[in-house]
Amino acid sequence: MSFLDVTDLDITYTVGAGSLKAVDGVSFSLRKGESMGIVGESGCGKTTIAKGLMQLLPKNGAITRGSITLNGRELVGLSKEAVRRLRLKEIAMISQSAMNALNPVYTIGDQLVEGIMAHTSFGNRGAYKRAVEVFEMVGLEEKRMRSFPHQMSGGMKQRAVIAMALSLNPSLIIADEPTTALDVVVQDRILHRIIKIQKEINSSMIFITHDISVVSEICETIVVMYGGKVMEMSPTDTFFRRPFHPYSLGLKNAFPLITEITDELISIPGTPPNLLLELKGCRFNERCPFAQQKCAVELPLFYEPEPGHKVACHFPERVEEFRERSSHRDTWEVVRERLIREYMEKGAVEYA
Amino acid sequence: MLGYIIRRLLIMVLMILLVSTMIFLLFRTMPGDPTASMVDPSIPREARQALLERYGLHESLWTQYAIFMKDLVRLDFGTSYFYNRPVLRVIQDRLPATLILMFTAMLFAYIIGIFGGAWMAWKRGTKLESLGITFSLIFRSAPTFWVGLLVIMFFAVRLGWFPAQGMRSTGYVGNTFREIFLTTDFLRHLVLPAFTAGLYFLATPTLIMRNSMLEVLSEDYIEMAHAKGLRERRVLYRHAARNALLPVVTAGALFIGAAIGGQVLIEVVYSWPGLGREIVQAVTRSDYPLAQGCFIILSTLVMVMNLIADVLYAFLDPRITY
Ligand SMILES: Nc1ncnc2c1ncn2[C@@H]1O[C@H](COP(=O)(O)OP(=O)(O)OP(=O)(O)O)[C@@H](O)[C@H]1O
Ligand code: SF4
Ligand SMILES: [Mg+2]
C-alpha cells in the first residue's frame, strides 16, 4: 500500500441520452513525497482524474468504478462533510484556470484566510499570520493581501492561488496545468517555486500537463494517457531515454528534449477518438502507424518491461523496431494519408 | 466617488426640468377643461372667467410655462384645485404612505427573491425549481387588483386576520409622523397591501437572481471555493450569491418604474391613501397642479433610486470605480 492508490478508476460523464467514460480503468500509485506527471493530448481525461481525486466532478460526472485510497483510507463514497475536510488540508488543487479562480469581489487576503479558517481552529489573526507566511513563500508582499484580483497581474494571481493551495501543508498537491496562462519566463519561475515548496513540505504531487518536457524536469514518474486510458507508465528518466509505447514515441517526437532537437518536427496525425462511441481495442489504433487487425478489436493489457514500468501494447517484442521507425517522418505520413483516405471514403458513403 | 455623485445629481436636476416640461405640455394638450370639473358649468360667465384668471388659465401657453417653471424651481407646485391646498402639502401627506408601502413590499420581494432565486439555482432541474418559477410568474402575470381582491377575501374576510382597507382604523386620528406610522394599527393595515405588492414584485429579483446565479455557479472561483473545503452554504451564499447579486441590483433600479405602476393599482384596491391613488383621483378630477406635482415627484423618485442603485453597485463590486 502506497500513500495514494488509485485502482481501476472509471469516471463517466452523462451527456444527453448517452454517456462517455472520460477515465477508463486507470490505476497508479504514489509514494509520500513523490511527484508524478500525467501527460496526454487535450481531452484525454487529465483534468477529470484531478477532479475525481478532489471529488469535485461536475453534476453530470461520477466515479462509476474503482477505488482511491489516501493513507489507506477509501475516498470513494465518503460523506460530503468528510470530503470537505480533506480538501485543501490533505489534497489541494492548483487548478487549470487559476486566472479565474479568485473571486472578484473579495480581497486575496480574505480568500486565503477563509480557506485556512475552514480547516483550523486558528482565529482570524492566526489565519492571517499563516496567510502572510505562505505569501512570502510564493514571493508576494504582504500588502497584496489587501488587493482585489483585478488589481493583480496574471503571475501574481497564479502565485496567490498557489499560496492558497499550499497554505495548510497538504500531503497531496494536484497541479493541473498550473502555468498555461502565463508567459514562458514566468512559467518557469513559478514552476520551480512550486517544486521547491513541495519538496520542503514533503508532499506528494500530481502534475498535469500536455508538455512532456516539463515532466522530464520535475517529475519522478510519468503517466501517459490517451482516450481515458493509461498507455504507458514509467520512471521519468527511463521513459525519456527509452519510451516503449507507440503513442509515447509520437509524443516524444512532438516535444523533443532540448538535447534531441532535430530539424524536422514530427507530429501525430489525426485526433483522439470520440469517447461517446463504444470503443473496443487499443484506443490509439486509428492513429498508430503499427496497428494490426488485432489492435482494433482486442484491448491490449499491460506488460512490464522492467519493474515499475508498464506499457499497454500488443507487441512488446517489436519495441526496437517501433522505436526506430517512429523517428522517421514517413512512418507518420503513411498514417496521415490513410486517415485522409478513410475520411474521404466515409464522406462518400455519407453523401451516397 | 463624491465627484461622481455630484455630477449625477446635476444631471438629475436637468432631467427633472426636462421631465417637468414634458409633463406640463402633456397636461395642456389633454382634452377636457379643468374649469368644467372645478366649476359648476351653470355659473355665470364672469364668475367662470374670474376663476380662470385666479388659476392663471387665461394666460398664453408660454406665460403659463414660464410661471410654472419659475414656481417649480422654488418647489412651488401650485395649489390643488380640488383640495384648495398647496400641492406640496398634499404630496407631503401622501408620500410617506406610498414610500413605506413600496419599500416594505420591495424588501419583502427582494429578500425572498434573492434567497429563493439562489436556492432555485442550487436546486436546478428539480421539481422544486419549476414550482418556484411558476409561483413567481403567476403573481407577476396575474392582474394585481385581482390578486389583491383574493388576498383580501382570504386573509381579511375569511380569516379576519388583517384589516382590508385603508391605513388606519376609523376614528383614529394621528397628527405627527409617529402617531400615524409607528403604531401597530398601521402595521396591521400595512400587511396585506405590502404582501400583495411584494408578490407582484417577486418575479423580477427571483428570476434574475436564479439566472445570474446559474451563470456564476459555473465560474472557476466557485469550484475553487469548493476546492478550499468551504461548506456548501458558504460557497452558495458568500461566494456565488454575492456575485450574482450585481445584475439583480441593476435590474432592481430599472424595475422601480414598473413597480410604481403596480403600486397605483394596489393603493386603489386597498384604499391606501398614497400618492398612487392620489394621482388617479387627480387625473379624473382634472386637478392639473396636483397631478403634475405627483408625476414630477414620482419621476424624481425613480431617478433617485437609480442613483442609489449605481452607488450601491460600486460598493458591491470592487472592480467599479467612478
Ligand atoms: N462536464 C463534462 N460533461 C461532459 N463531458 C465532459 C465534461 N468535462 C469533460 N468532458 C469530456 O471528458 C473528456 C476528458 O476531459 P478532461 O477535461 O478531463 O480532459 P483534459 O485531459 O484535462 O484536457 P485538457 O488538456 O484540454 O485540459 C473530454 O472528452 C471532454 O470532452
Ligand atoms: S496495441 Fe496496436 S494500435 Fe495500440 S499501440 Fe500497440 S500497435 Fe499501436
Ligand atoms: Mg484539463
* A110 pLDDT higher than 60: yes
Contact A281, A299 (CB under 8 A): yes
Whether residues A37 and A183 share a domain: the answer is: yes
> Per the domain annotation, does A215 fall within a domain?
yes
CA dist list (Å): A229 to A80, A111, A297: 28, 36, 16
Whether residues A195 and A249 share a domain: the answer is: no
Contact B80, B289 (CB under 8 A): yes
pLDDT tens by residue, A301-328 = 999 999 989 999 999 999 999 988 988 8
Whether residues A273 and A186 share a domain: the answer is: no
Mutation for A interface: B126, B224, B313, most A CBs within 10 A: B224
Beta carbon of A279 within 6 Å of any ligand 2 atom: no
Detail the DSSP E strand segments found in chain B.
none
Report the residue count for chain B. Answer: 322
Residue B322 per-residue DSSP state? -
Whether residues A165 and A249 share a domain: the answer is: no
> Per the domain annotation, does A142 fall within a domain?
yes
Whether residues A248 and A209 share a domain: the answer is: no
Residue A352 is predicted with a pLDDT of: 52
Beta carbon of A227 within 6 Å of any ligand 2 atom: no
pLDDT tens by residue, A246-286 = 999 988 877 666 666 565 677 888 888 888 888 889 999 99
**A29 band by pLDDT with thresholds 50, 70 and 90:** very high
Q: Which of A159, A191, A224 is the last residue of a domain?
A: A224
Say yes or no: A60 contacts chain B, CB-CB below 8 A: no
Beta carbon of A313 within 6 Å of any ligand 2 atom: yes
Whether B318 sits inside 8 A of A164 (CB atoms) is no
Beta carbon of A42 within 6 Å of any ligand 1 atom: yes
Tell me the chain B residues in contact with residue A164 when contact means C-beta distances shorter than 8 Å: 224, 228
Contact A26, A206 (CB under 8 A): no
Mean pLDDT of A94-121: 89
Which architecture does CATH list for B91-316?
A: Orthogonal Bundle (1.10)
B49: left (phi over 0), alpha (psi -120 to 50) or beta: alpha
**A4 band by pLDDT with thresholds 50, 70 and 90:** very high
Report the residue count for chain A. Answer: 352
Whether residues A211 and A95 share a domain: the answer is: yes
Q: Which residues contact B138 (CB under 8 A, 6 or more apart)?
A: none
Say yes or no: A80 contacts chain B, CB-CB below 8 A: yes
Whether residues A263 and A312 share a domain: the answer is: yes
> Per the domain annotation, does A107 fall within a domain?
yes
Q: How many domains does chain A have?
A: 2
The domain segmentation of chain B, as residue ranges, is 2-73, 91-316
Q: How far apart are CA B276 and CA A206, in angstroms?
A: 66
A positions 166-205 inside 8 Å of B (CB): none
Q: How far apart are CA B277 and CA B268, in angstroms?
A: 5
How far does chain A reach from its first CA to its final CA, in angstroms? 57
Whether residues A126 and A207 share a domain: the answer is: yes
Residue B33 is predicted with a pLDDT of: 61
Q: Which of A162, A189, A224 is the last residue of a domain?
A: A224
Q: Is A73 exposed, middle or buried (0-12, 13-18, 19+ CB in 10 A)?
A: exposed
Q: Which ligand lies nearest to the CA atom of residue A42 in the structure?
A: 1
A positions 12-51 inside 8 Å of B (CB): none
Q: How would you classify the pairing of strands A221-226 and A309-312?
A: unpaired
* A96 pLDDT higher than 80: no
Tell me the chain B residues in contact with residue A88 when contact means C-beta distances shorter than 8 Å: 227-229
Domain CATH number, residue A198: 3.40.50.300
What grid cell was written down for A278?
A: 463504444
A positions 97-136 inside 8 Å of B (CB): 97, 99-105, 114-115, 118-119
Residue A204 β-bridge partners = A172
Contact B266, B197 (CB under 8 A): yes
Q: How would you classify the pairing of strands A35-39 and A204-208?
A: parallel
Q: Which residues contact A90 (CB under 8 A, 6 or more apart)?
A: A70, A170, A171, A172
Residue A100 is predicted with a pLDDT of: 87
Residue B174 is predicted with a pLDDT of: 66
Tell me the chain B residues in contact with residue A103 when contact means C-beta distances shorter than 8 Å: 221, 224-225, 239, 242-243
Least confidently predicted of A13-22, A202-211, A331-340, B151-160:
B151-160
Residue A351 is predicted with a pLDDT of: 57
Minimum-distance ligand 1 atom for the alpha carbon of A272: 29
Beta carbon of A246 within 6 Å of any ligand 2 atom: yes
Whether residues A115 and A257 share a domain: the answer is: no
Q: Rounded to the nearest 5°, which phi and psi values hold at A177?
A: 40, 60
pLDDT tens by residue, A35-56 = 999 999 989 999 999 999 999 9
Q: Which of B220, B229, B317 sits opposite A88 (nearest CB)?
A: B229
Q: What is the mean pLDDT of chain B?
A: 81
Whether B226 sits inside 8 A of A56 (CB atoms) is yes
- Percent over 70 (pLDDT), chain A: 95
Q: How far apart are CA A196 and CA A339, in angstroms?
A: 45
Residue B55 β-bridge partners = none
Whether residues A293 and A187 share a domain: the answer is: no
Q: Which of B228, B232, B318 sits opposite A88 (nearest CB)?
A: B228
* A332 pLDDT higher than 80: yes
Q: Assign 3-class secondary structure to chain A.
A: CCCEEEEEEEEEEEECCEEEEEEEEEEEEECCCCEEEEECCCCCCHHHHHHHHHCCCCCCEEEEEEEEEECCEECCCCCHHHHHHHECCCEEEECCCHHHCCCCCCCHHHHHHHHHHCCCCCCHHHHHHHHHHHHHHCCCCHHHHHCCHHHCCHHHHHHHHHHHHHCCCCCEEEEECCCCCCCHHHHHHHHHHHHHHHHHCCCEEEEECCCHHHHHHHCCEEEEEECCEEEEEEEHHHHHHCCCCHHHHHHHHHCCCHHHCCCCCCCCCCCCCCCCCCCCCCCCCCCCCCCCHHHHHCCCCEEEEECCEEEECCCHHHHHHHHHHHCCHHHHHHHHHHHHHHHHHHHHHHHC
> Per the domain annotation, does A316 fall within a domain?
yes
pLDDT tens by residue, B155-191 = 777 777 877 777 766 666 666 666 666 677 777 788 8
| pLDDT under 50: residue ranges of chain B | none
Tell me the chain B residues in contact with residue A61 when contact means C-beta distances shorter than 8 Å: none
> Per the domain annotation, does A17 fall within a domain?
no
Mean pLDDT of A236-240: 91
Whether residues A112 and A209 share a domain: the answer is: yes
Between A103 and B190, where is the model more confident?
A103
pLDDT tens by residue, A192-229 = 888 888 888 899 999 998 888 888 888 999 999 999 99
What grid cell was written down for A208?
A: 498535469
Domain that holds residue A259: 243-351
Whether B229 sits inside 8 A of A85 (CB atoms) is yes
Whether residues A250 and A345 share a domain: the answer is: yes
Residue A8 is predicted with a pLDDT of: 95
Least confidently predicted of A22-36, A99-113, A335-349:
A335-349
Contact A34, A84 (CB under 8 A): no
What is the Å distance from ligand 2's center to A337 Cα? 18
Q: Which of A172, A192, A224 is the last residue of a domain?
A: A224
Contact A221, A236 (CB under 8 A): yes
